[in-house]
Amino acid sequence: MFFSKKGQALLGKQQNEILKIEAWGENALRVRSTQNAGFSGNDWALSGTSPRNSDISLSDGTASIRNGKISAHVNAAGVITFYKENKMILREYYRSYGGTESRESSCLKVIAREFKPIAGGDSYQLNVRFEGNDGEKIYGMGQYQHAYLNQKGCVLELAQRNSQVSIPFAVSNLGYGFLWNNPAVGKVMFGKNYTEWHAEASDQIDYWITADDSPAAMVKNYTEVTGRAPMMPENVLGLWQCKLRYRTQKEVLQVARKYKELGIPLDVIVIDFFHWTRQGDWCFDPEYWPDPKAMVDELHSMGVRVMVSVWPSVDRKSKNFQEMFDRGLLIRTERGTIQTYDFNGDCVSFDAMNPEARDFVWGKCRENYYKYGIDMFWLDNAEPDYAQYDFDNYRYYLGPAVKVSNIYPLLYTKTFYDGLRAEGQTEIVSLVRSAWAGSQKYAALVWSGDVRSTFESFRDQLMAGLNMGLAGIPWWTTDIGGFMGGDVHDPAFVQLLIRWFQFAVFTPVLRMHGDRDPHDIPPLSDKDYGGGYLYTGQPNEMWSYGEKAFQIMKKYLKIRLSLKPYLLDLMKEAHQTGAPLMRTMFYEFPGDEKCWDISDQYMFGSKYLVAPVLFEDQVSRKVYLPSGCWENVNDGKEYEGGQTIECSAPIDCIPVFLRK
């Protein structure tokens, strides 16, 4: 490989490949490689940041670049090895001719940076490989519905689906963080023998790596270059009330009035889907919502903020469909029907990658919701949801779905963030079902999607929330009790709901939501459209599950409200440093080897250790206390750290310890 220095960049050229390495952020490097004539110019998740000064040296057919604690050495064959303060942390996997190190002279002909041309275009299928490191543990990567906090040994699809959120930033216990800066559909395999990142279609290899002394420092470096969440307002840190679905403004007001009558503070009430005439009309059905402004005014007088659900899908019978279709504002299909979504309608989703489409959708929501005083928007189906996840059949303004689709939820959220900012709003929160690297800077509150109402699913959500925090998303929540399958008459489900509520008190947002069985409530209308025809779930308010459950939830809501000053401090920290509110044990105690293997308890900020009850009929559990002094907040007993204790956990109690 032939090396040169251009400005602050290290360049390498070999046959058709151009390699570029730059200092990019604190203790970090950005690596790009292409076999096209030049680089694309897309910064993707690194938008808004730029290279910085670095130390570059060229010597004897090799080259190196240093930025603070991280450095990269490139040998004559073009193989990159990364070091943290002169200790190797990551090395490209290379098994081919021409190398100088033992494993590089090989007949296997496997190279680290592999470009497979896609016929007829300038895109490639990409594979990038790194050596496996014995004893390595890998965390982050967003939200996957499985039971693993440590992603080492896992194969992860790099694609957005309902309840799967692909955010390709990984934190290693070896002292580095790695961002795959590419929105293409693909996968990553964190194998024992090697790691492989794959993109179905892309112009170039693009990744970013940081090395630092702690997970907190790595997340700080990462969010410096991808953006940080704004400050979350205090008046959304209490209870959110939602169900599937409030069908009329009368139902919404009845619920809010009862909370007020019972003396229970309610911060947010949420109006879920099919309050509209048709998907893509983005308005209230006037038959069931005759005076939205009066409804909102009354809710505001009670101190309740109002959130309304917005979907990206546009029914062919919508009043906006033809104009959007003619103007090219919808996602395109490569073959067959133009339909992309088929839930209760023949729909095509709007193309959030098209700035004109974003302006159009916000304009409708501004006119039909915001002007009535609606405070916040629930951006559902934000992946976007497809009838079939056939990514090779869809095309966006920015290109084929296989090449760019993972960035869709970020731009969907940006639609409403930009619109509200243009209206002068500063306290913005959008509830959204998916995200990508950098979504946090657009006030994205990500929830874990339409998950099952089971203890198994509950355990998976804990893994999801912790890994989302490490991937740069500090605002995360779940549907308390899970979304589907919970029967309000089943004592086993009520037990799950209580345990989930207790856990949710110690998450960024406390939100009652779910589609509750049985579905025996008749529709309001026999029409096949409008706000009255679709089914709804059973009541899902705090008082809906019996007096015992009600009293337990009241107790924990009181605890939540008492935590508001602490929550504000955590939100400020997230805004300033990118720190998650829900933190893995090793995030706070990186020097404690045991903490790197614990996945059933976590730190809520730096003060509270939370040990949720994750199994049915469980009334006690083991809790590991790291070094220090810990107070059980339930009984006031104090314990010296460095030990595992057995902790009582009756149905009205979740084990929580205060770090003294």
Q: Is residue 224 within 8 Å of 50, Cβ to Cβ?
A: no
Strands of the sheet containing 394-396, edge to edge, are: 332-333, 394-396, 399-400
Q: Is the dihedral of CA 257, 258, 264, 267 positive or negative?
A: negative
Q: Going by C-beta distance under 8 Å and a sequence separation of 6 or more, which residues neighbour residue 143?
A: 163, 164, 165, 167, 446, 448, 449, 464, 465, 467, 468
Q: Going by C-beta distance under 8 Å and a sequence separation of 6 or more, which residues neighbour residue 358?
A: 352, 411, 414, 415, 418
Q: Is residue 420 within 8 Å of 365, Cβ to Cβ?
A: no
Query: How far apart are alpha carbons 390 and 49 in whole angstroms?
Result: 33
Q: Which residues pair with 31 in a beta bridge?
A: 21, 207
Convert 398-426 into a string of H (helix), E (strand) and C (coil).
CEEHHHHHHHHHHHHHHHHHHHHHHCCCC
Structure tokens at 87: 């200790």
Runs of H (alpha helix) within 423-516: 455-470, 491-505
Catalytic residues: 380, 383, 450
How far from the centroid of its chain's Cα atoms is residue 93's Cα? 30
Distances (CA, A) of 89 to 190, 196, 221, 339, 565: 15, 16, 17, 47, 40
Q: Counting Cβ atoms within 10 Å, is residue 660 exposed (0-12), middle (13-18) or buried (19+)?
A: exposed
Query: How far apart are alpha carbons 445 and 475 in whole angstroms?
Result: 5
Q: What are phi and psi of 348, to 5 degrees?
A: -130, 135
* 3-state SS class at 600: coil
Query: How far apart are alpha carbons 34 and 16 in whole angstroms?
Result: 8
Q: Counting Cβ atoms within 10 Å, is residue 114 exposed (0-12), middle (13-18) or buried (19+)?
A: middle
B/e letters for 233-258, b = 16+ CB within 10 Å, e = fewer, are beebbbbbbbbbbbbbbebbbebbee
Q: Which residues pair with 30 in a beta bridge?
A: 22, 208
How far from the centroid of its chain's Cα atoms is residue 412's Cα? 13
Q: Going by C-beta distance under 8 Å and a sequence separation of 6 or more, which residues neighbour residue 522?
A: none
Query: How far apart are alpha carbons 23 and 54 in whole angstroms?
Result: 6
Q: What is the DSSP letter of 44?
A: G
The single residue listed with the structure tokens 């990364």 is 82
Peptide bond into 518 cis (omega under 30): yes
